[in-house]
Each structure stands twice: as structure tokens, then as C-alpha cells.
Amino acid sequence: MPELPEVETVRGGLQRHVSGRTFADVQVLHPRAVRRHLAGPADFEARLRGRQFDGARRRGKYLWLPVGDDAMVAHLGMSGQLLVGPPDAPLSPHVRVRFTFADGGSELRFTDQRTFGHLLLAADGAELPSVIAHIAPDPLESAFDPVWFAYRLHSRKTGIKRALLDQSLISGVGNIYADEALWRTKLHFARATDRLRPSAIVGLIAAVREVFAEALLAGGTSFDSLYVNVNGESGYFDRSLSVYGREGEPCPRCGTRIRRDPFMNRSSYTCPKCQPRPRNGRW
Ligand SMILES: [Zn+2]
């Protein structure tokens, strides 16, 4: 599943390749892709035809492209991709929505093999679409306030990883980057948030920003070649992961074997020595 750095990479690509261009035509090839646009596929198409994209923005894993006062909102789900490529490129069977531009140049295609992703048009959503207003800012946004986050965290009685994955507290942090940031700050995922010192929370946020920045840097080069792309979990950052997916391998810091624990229907990876399990943890 694409995480925040991958989505940010897509945002940057859309900004470069699509912003400022006017749609000639919009074709919904699979209605499921616009299922959250309640007025239906024909309305989605009609509202975008002839209009101009004005930038590409992001909060957490949501993207939105302002068109006048409105915005086209995109969520990539598990396997969604926004691809920019030549108009004569063969149409893959997974293309769900196809956008052509008035300048006759490259096309934008929304492809989604597993169809969990979606697009919709949010009226008056240019600044912040109402469908994503309930999501807390992500740590790469200027709107993210570490002090507010630390305060909210302290008042919750939960485990630190659960809190990191809670979109009402902080958005955009998925399983992979949560594990990486916790390892860097030597915090076990079950540490109780109400017992964490503010300095530990500040350090954790810095670590989250650090892993995001490194992932962005790693993904920045693969981009301009042909496509605005998302590779999902098999993506380019895999090589740089310290603990995630590395059960039984040595911890890069101390050599102890990485451990995997089941966590919220997924897995958590920790170094048992660097990240000792708390006595009164909250899973
Ligand atoms: Zn270790």
C-alpha cells in the first residue's frame, strides 16, 4: 500500500506534469473508481471537462487537485496509480479513468488493479476538501503542530504505535514508517502514550520526518523518466528499511535478531534489545 512518501512523490509529479493544464476530455472507464462521487460518473466527467488544474496538494495519503473553487480528490487505496504518459501508450486493462488535455500532450490515467482507490469531485474543496477535513495534518505539512500532537497524545491512554496510526491525531503514518521511526527512537510500539516524556514524543516526530525525508529522496529520482508512479510496498524504499519486514535479521544498530509481533491484524517489527518491551504496555 502506498504510504505518505510515495503519495508525496505522486503529488510532486502531478504538480510538474499536470498543473496548469486544461482537460479536453475525462472518461470514466470503470464506475467503481468514482463510487464516492455520489452524483455518478457522468457528472464527474462533465464537471471536469474544459477545466484547468491549479496545483496538486496533499494531506496524509489524500491528494487533491484544485480546479477553480472545487477540487478533484484522489485516494490511491492499495494499488492505485496516477500515471502520466504519452497519449498513444497502450491502454492497460486496469485504467479506470482517463484524462486528456487540450494541449494534446501527455495524458493522465488513473489505474487501479484492486479498485480500492477512488476519485471524486469536491465542490468548494480547493482549500481543503470537506471529505478529508476530519483528518489531522501530517508531519510534513506546515499545519502540523508537534505541541498539539504531544498534548493530545499525553491525554490518550493508548500505545504509541496505535496513536501513530490514528488519523485523527496524525495522518499519513502507516505501518512501515511507524516501525522505522519507533526503532530509530528506541521506543517499543506498546509504550503507553500517557507515560511518555515530551522529549520522547518530540524525538519520535523528528524520526518520522527523517524517515519520510529519506524515502522521498530515494523516490525522487525514479520519477521524471516516464510516469508519475506509485510502487506500493514493493517500492524503492525497501532497501533502506532497518526493521520492517526483517524478522530474524540482525538489528543494524546492535546485531540482535529482529522480532515480529502480530499487531492490529498486521505485524510490528522491533529489536528486542534496543526497544525493550514495557512492563505495562498498551497494545
Ligand atoms: Zn538493536
CA dist 238 → 189, 205, 233, 235, 258 (Å): 21, 21, 8, 6, 16
Q: How far is the CA of 258 from the centre of ligand 1 (A)?
A: 8
pLDDT at 198: 86
Q: How far is the CA of 251 from the centre of ligand 1 (A)?
A: 5
**Mean pLDDT for the chain overall:** 88
Residue with cell 507515560: 195
Q: pLDDT category, 238, cuts 50, 70, 90?
A: low
Q: Is the pLDDT of residue 88 over 80?
A: yes
Q: How far is the CA of 272 from the centre of ligand 1 (A)?
A: 7
pLDDT at 228: 45
Q: How far is the CA of 13 from the centre of ligand 1 (A)?
A: 37
Annotation says 6 is catalytic: no
Cβ-count burial of 107 within 10 angstroms (0-12 exposed, 13-18 middle, 19+ buried)? buried
More confident residue, 164 or 1: 164
CA dist 103 → 34, 100, 110, 237 (Å): 25, 9, 19, 35
Please report which residue ranges of the chain form alpha helices under DSSP H.
4-17, 41-48, 146-155, 160-164, 175-184, 198-219
pLDDT at 239: 58
Which is catalytic among the residues 3, 6, 45, 180? 3
CA–CA separation, 89 vs 34, rounded Å?
23
Specify the amino acid at residue 145: D
Annotation says 214 is catalytic: no
Annotation says 96 is catalytic: no
pLDDT at 221: 38
CB of 27 closer than 8 Å to CB of 97? yes
Q: The pTM is what?
A: 0.82
H/E stretch holding 282 reads none
pLDDT at 237: 55
Q: How far is the CA of 234 from the centre of ligand 1 (A)?
A: 24
Q: How far is the CA of 253 from the centre of ligand 1 (A)?
A: 5
Q: How far is the CA of 260 from the centre of ligand 1 (A)?
A: 13
Using a pLDDT cut of 70, give the percent of the chain over it.
92
pLDDT in tens, 57-80: 999 989 999 999 999 999 988 878
Mean pLDDT across 193-221: 85
Q: Is the pLDDT of residue 235 over 50?
A: no
Which is catalytic among the residues 61, 109, 161, 191? 61
Kindly report the backbone phi and psi dihedral angles of residue 159, in degrees, each rounded to the nearest multiple of 5, phi listed first.
Answer: -85, 155
Give the torsion sign (CA, 213, 214, 219, 221): positive
Which is catalytic among the residues 157, 266, 276, 277? 266
pLDDT at 147: 86
Q: How far is the CA of 215 from the centre of ligand 1 (A)?
A: 21
pLDDT at 232: 34
More confident residue, 113 or 31: 31
Residues in the chain: 283
Annotation says 41 is catalytic: no
